[in-house]
Amino acid sequence: MTGAGKVRDLFDVLQDVPAAANADPPSSHEAARNITASGTRDSDTRTVAAAVKKWDGKTYAELAPLMGWDKHRVMKRLNDASRLGYVRKGPRRSCEAARAEGRNQTATTWWATQT
């Protein structure tokens, strides 16, 4: 499906996928409902998927500065994009962002799918 129908389908899917964990406080659940209902979650998920397509094989911490976003925002939307099949997890490797902070840490890489 293309056009407005596809956008609506994505919005419907995100309505059914929790954006807050069961153990999170009520304020997190309220924020999750708001970001989903406003369309921001949908828009952010699409933006992250496009960034992964542009910079295949990066970790979430490497993508964040390239996008001008906080790394936690990137990670949350990567999880949504993965659930929707736009991106997939790749192998773990040494993270350049962690090395720049003086840490030797591996992290999952993210890759665009063919959808």
pLDDT at residue 17 in the model = 67
Burial class (CB in 10 A: 0-12, 13-18, 19+), 110: buried
pLDDT value, residue 26:
84
21-27 average pLDDT score: 80
pLDDT band at 7 (very low <50, low <70, confident <90, very high): very low
Helix/strand/coil percent split, the chain, to 5: 55, 15, 30
What pLDDT, on a 0 to 100 scale, did the predictor assign at position 22? 74
pTM: 0.79
pLDDT at residue 111, rounded to an integer: 98
Q: Specify burial of residue 113 (Cβ count, 10 A radius: 0-12, 13-18, 19+).
A: middle
Answer yes or no: is pLDDT of 8 > 60: no
